[in-house]
Amino acid sequence: MSSYEPIQDGMEAIAIRHAMRPGDLGRILYLHGTLYAAEYGWDHTFETDVVGPLAAFAMRKDPKERIWLVEAQQRVDGSIAIVRSAESDGSAAQLRWFLLHPRLRGHGIGRSILGQALEFARRVGYRSVHLSTARDLVAAAALYREAGFQLTEEVTHPLWGQVVCEQRYDLVL
């Protein structure tokens, strides 16, 4: 979308864009930190796992990487990205930073941007996509399975001030 459009009657207008603007990195980090703290009790150390890779992504100009920024009321309130996987020879992508503010959930936005991200990954030639998540993120996992991802690994350990069951999902494109 290039302009603000209502996503349904009574819902605020949203826009989805790819170009990063000043403040976007901070807003994505803020959303991850505050929403996961409120919803799952994760502490500030979670943000350290977000900030490094996010900053590195912002510095690259890789045509095989893209971010989708969901903007509502002229403020970033969600994101998802496709980046090159550090685990492969360039044939695999990683899905990262998938998050929507709670007031935007349940309207099909997450499903839409996940579909756009996977279509982009196919179009630029990735053969597979993987992601890391936590078992507690039930709604996101349902979207991943709906898109064809398979759960391939689970590890439970102390992390982010909690005991977290990390999950890895993989999708062959």
Q: How do residues 13-67 score in pLDDT, each as one tens digit?
A: 899 999 999 999 999 999 999 999 999 999 999 999 999 999 999 999 999 999 9
d(CA 80, CA 100): 9
Helix or strand run (H / E) with residue 39: helix 24-40
Q: Is the residue at 95 inside a domain? A: yes
Q: State pTM to two decimals.
A: 0.91
- Res 125: pLDDT: 96
Q: Is the residue at 35 inside a domain? A: yes
Q: Pairing relation of β-strands 75-84 and 92-100? A: antiparallel
Give yes or no for residue 5 having a pLDDT over 60.
Answer: no
Q: Is the residue at 43 inside a domain? A: yes
Backbone phi and psi for residue 94, each to the nearest 5 degrees, phi listed first: -120, 135
CA distances in angstroms from 134 to 5, 109, 129, 155, listed in the order given: 32, 20, 17, 9
pLDDT tens for residues 108-137?
A: 999 999 999 999 999 999 999 999 999 999
Q: Is the residue at 160 inside a domain? A: no
Q: N- to C-terminal Cα distance for the chain?
A: 25
| Number of separate domains in the chain | 1
Give yes or no for residue 12 having a pLDDT over 90.
Answer: no
Average pLDDT of the residues in 158-166: 96
- The CATH number of the domain holding residue 80 is 3.40.630.30
Q: Is the residue at 105 inside a domain? A: yes
Helix or strand run (H / E) with residue 152: strand 150-159
What does the mean pLDDT of the chain come to? Answer: 93
Q: Is the residue at 118 inside a domain? A: yes
CA distances in angstroms from 55 to 47, 49, 61, 84, 147, listed in the order given: 12, 11, 12, 14, 28
Q: Is the residue at 14 inside a domain? A: yes
Of residues 6 and 101, more confidence is placed in 101
d(CA 48, CA 32): 10
Q: Is the residue at 149 inside a domain? A: no
Band (3; pLDDT cuts 50, 70, 90): very low
Range(s) of the domain holding residue 77: 5-127
